[in-house]
């Protein structure tokens, strides 16, 4: 067995095992950590497929940013496990129905015969010095430049919308105005009064 | 650097070829890099206490060994024999996982950092992105430590620090974009080799504001003063470290110092010409300094930045939390975005010796 296939099986096992444990984990934080592990396993599998840029982006975006915010929310919310478990059975029939439909869909797609090993060419190894990023950038900024720009504008709109939703004037907030504080003059804050020390009233 | 060793393995042990040889070569490369790194980290703690001591007109550690030189080892043994205490009702798995998750990424980053012309473990094509990606994993150590400790101060420290780290990561990402645009490569080796030829060819001149922004963000990323809100001794009594003792705490401590060394190395590689001599192309000085190995230049520049860490810590008081956030989102982020435009213009005009 080749060394890369050993790595493939190790990372594949990690991915499947962590995903399975993620579904059955009771602790939300533990489930989030298992999701991170499965992200890492997938990134390693992509590395084996010579898709380095995609693998690093997965870790950078999903593990480094999205899951951090996710954990943040989990920590801030005090999730009561018992109420969630009490409601679990009421959704059981719907859940079984949805999962059956999903399984049927996956079975239909996979049984169509286009995923057999014979139908898929073995990925060709690239020569040394082949740059994944150059290839990706050339495609992204020439052939697909308009979809790329559109996606960027869409994200910008989403950011602006999110900020305007949250950023309302609150009359109770005591926000400091830094430039006002910095540009303050001594004369605005302190009044120097000259009081002579000698002239005092004599006690009668 | 390791090429002789790799050739030796392949020639003298032909039956040894394939996967196992690859693993053993990687392991030996890793050990020869990590051991000096750990020693460097140990003496970084000594240097910190000594330098800050002299800055505050004290002497610092001077009892263990000559002028206190064995102090780091005394600290290591003390840490190793201390009891690890688990808080009541803490989640023990996550409690133990947290320091490991802080320490492992700090070490893993060094796989791609080139220390000399041919002195690196892997020459990854996307090494700078790898550094960013693995560096962003380190925040989990702090988040988990805060949550798993089942205590209030650690949770507060973790919340403050996690949002700080995520915010400053964005700034560092933008700074890295300017460097990548200047060097037109994401490979750290190529970024360094594009800065060859004397001190005037390094990127600190065209990217000067970015260098300042990077260094301040690096202070925040490594949770150092004046941005050490995760510990905040005077406010939350040590933050996420409150419940940790013995080797569990030592792992956090080591991760912090190794990250400091890494940030210093990154600053040198991106803005100060990496292992290049500052006198390249200068008539007499170039020959005079020709005997200095390239790694010494890198280490010399790194030690300046490491000294800067201590100098800043001894000088500035801790920032308030909202001031840190304001600095990141309202000052640094617009500045970096503007400078990306400037760098784009400079690369189009092929300005000076840099582009």
Query: Bridge partners of B119?
Result: B116
Tell me the C-alpha distance between B211 and B92, whole Å. Answer: 41
In Å, what is the CA distance from A192 to each residue of A179, A187, A189? 25, 8, 10
CA distance A51 to A64: 19
Does A186 have pLDDT greater than 60?
yes
Q: Is A78 a residue whose pLDDT tops 70?
A: no
Split at pLDDT 50, 70, 90, the class of B11 is low
Q: Kindly report the number of other CB atoms within 10 A of residue A136's CB atom.
A: 14
Residue bearing the bigger pLDDT, A131 or B312: B312
B95 near A CB under 8 A: no
| Phi, psi torsion values for B119, nearest 5 degrees | -120, 85
What is the per-residue burial (b if ≥16 Cβ within 10 Å, else e) of B57-96? eeebbeeeeeebeebbeebbeebeeeeeebbeebbeebbb
Q: Residue B108: which residues within 8 A CB-CB, separation 6 or more?
A: B134
pLDDT in tens, A9-48: 999 999 999 999 888 887 778 888 889 899 989 998 988 8
What's the confidence (pLDDT) of residue B311? 92
Residue A201 pLDDT class (50, 70, 90 cuts): low
ipTM over 0.90: no
pLDDT at A178 over 80: no
pLDDT in tens, B157-210: 888 888 888 888 889 989 999 998 888 888 888 888 888 877 788 888 888 889
Whether the CB of A53 is below 8 Å from some CB of chain B: the reply is yes
Residue B145 pLDDT > 70, yes or no?
Answer: yes
Domain at A1-78, CATH from 2.60.40.10, 1.10.3720.10, 1.20.120.1200, 3.40.800.20: 1.20.120.1200
Average pLDDT of the segment spanning B285-302: 81
Once rounded to an integer, what is the mean pLDDT over residues A123-141?
A: 77
The answer to whether A133 faces chain B, any CB pair under 8 Å, is yes
pLDDT at A202: 63
Residues of chain B positioned with their CB less than 8 A from the CB of A33: 94, 97, 140, 144
What's the pLDDT band for B213 if we cut at 50, 70, 90? Answer: very high
Name the pLDDT band for B16 (thresholds 50, 70, 90).
low
Please give the residue of chain A at the shortest CA–CA distance from B23.
Answer: A3
The domain ranges of chain A are 1-78, 80-122, 126-165
**Partner residues linked to B116 by β-bridges:** B119
CA distance B243 to B98: 12
Residue B15, pLDDT > 70, answer no
B294 pLDDT band, cuts 50/70/90, is confident
Least confident piece of the model among A150-164, A172-186, B155-169: A172-186
How far apart are the CA of A189 and the nearest CA of chain B, in angstroms?
Answer: 23
Question: Cα(A131)–Cα(A127) distance, rounded to whole angstroms?
Answer: 9
Q: How distant is the Cα of B74 from the closest Cα of chain A, in angstroms?
A: 36
pLDDT digits (tens, 9 = 90+) for B17-44: 566 777 777 888 888 888 988 999 989 9
In angstroms, the separation between the Cα of residue A177 and the nearest Cα of chain B is: 11
């Amino acid at each position: 067995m080749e060394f890369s296939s050993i790595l493939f099986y190790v990372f594949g096992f990690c991915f499947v095992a962590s995903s399975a444990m993620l579904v059955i984990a009771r602790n939300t934080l533990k489930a989030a950590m298992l999701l991170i592990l499965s992200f890492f396993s997938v990134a390693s599998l992509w590395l084996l497929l010579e898709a380095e840029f995609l693998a690093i982006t997965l870790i950078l975006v999903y593990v480094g940013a999205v899951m951090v915010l996710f954990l943040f929310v989990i920590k801030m919310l005090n999730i009561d496990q018992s109420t969630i478990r009490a409601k679990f059975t009421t959704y059981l029939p719907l859940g079984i129905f949805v999962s059956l439909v999903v399984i049927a869909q996956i079975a239909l797609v996979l049984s169509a015969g286009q995923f057999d090993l014979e139908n898929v060419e073995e990925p060709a190894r690239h020569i040394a010095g082949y740059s994944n990023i150059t290839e990706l950038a050339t495609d992204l900024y020439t052939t697909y430049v308009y979809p790329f720009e559109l996606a960027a504008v869409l994200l910008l709109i989403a950011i602006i919308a999110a900020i305007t939703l949250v950023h309302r004037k609150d009359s109770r907030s005591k926000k400091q105005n830094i430039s006002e504080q910095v540009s303050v003059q001594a004369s605005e804050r302190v009044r120097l009064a000259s009081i002579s020390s000698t002239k005092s009233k004599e006690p009668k | 650097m390791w090429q002789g060793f790799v050739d030796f393995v392949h020639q003298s042990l032909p039956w040894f070829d394939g996967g196992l040889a690859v693993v053993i070569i990687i392991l030996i490369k890793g050990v020869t890099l990590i051991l000096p790194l750990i020693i460097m980290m140990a003496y970084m703690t000594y240097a910190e206490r000594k330098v800050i001591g002299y800055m505050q007109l004290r002497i610092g550690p001077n009892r263990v060994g000559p002028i206190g030189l064995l102090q780091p080892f005394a600290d290591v043994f003390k840490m190793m024999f201390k009891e690890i205490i688990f808080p009541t009702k803490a989640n023990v798995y996550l409690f133990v996982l947290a320091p490991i998750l802080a320490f492992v990424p700090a070490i893993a980053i060094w796989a791609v950092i080139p220390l000399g012309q041919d002195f690196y473990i892997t020459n990854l094509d996307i090494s700078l992105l790898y550094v960013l990606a693995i560096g962003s994993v380190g925040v989990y150590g702090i988040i988990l430590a805060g949550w798993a400790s089942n205590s209030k101060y650690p949770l507060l420290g973790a919340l403050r620090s996690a949002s700080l780290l995520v915010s400053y990561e964005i700034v560092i990402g933008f700074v890295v974009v300017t460097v990548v645009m200047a060097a037109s490569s994401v490979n750290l080796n190529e970024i360094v080799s594009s800065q060859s030829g004397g001190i005037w060819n390094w990127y600190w001149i065209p990217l000067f504001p970015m260098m300042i922004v990077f260094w301040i963000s690096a202070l925040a990323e490594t949770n150092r003063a004046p941005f050490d809100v995760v510990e905040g001794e005077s406010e939350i009594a040590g933050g996420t470290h409150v419940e940790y003792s013995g080797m569990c705490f030592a792992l956090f401590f080591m991760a912090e110092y190794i990250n400091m060394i890494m940030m210093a190395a990154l600053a040198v590689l991106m803005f100060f010409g990496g292992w290049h001599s500052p006198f390249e192309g200068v008539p007499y000085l170039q020959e005079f300094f020709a005997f200095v190995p390239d790694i010494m230049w890198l280490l010399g520049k790194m030690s300046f930045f490491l000294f800067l860490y201590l100098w800043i810590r001894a000088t500035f008081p801790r920032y308030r939390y909202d001031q840190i956030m304001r600095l990141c989102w309202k000052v640094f982020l617009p500045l970096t975005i503007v400078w990306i435009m400037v760098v784009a213009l400079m690369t189009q005009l092929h300005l000076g010796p840099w582009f």
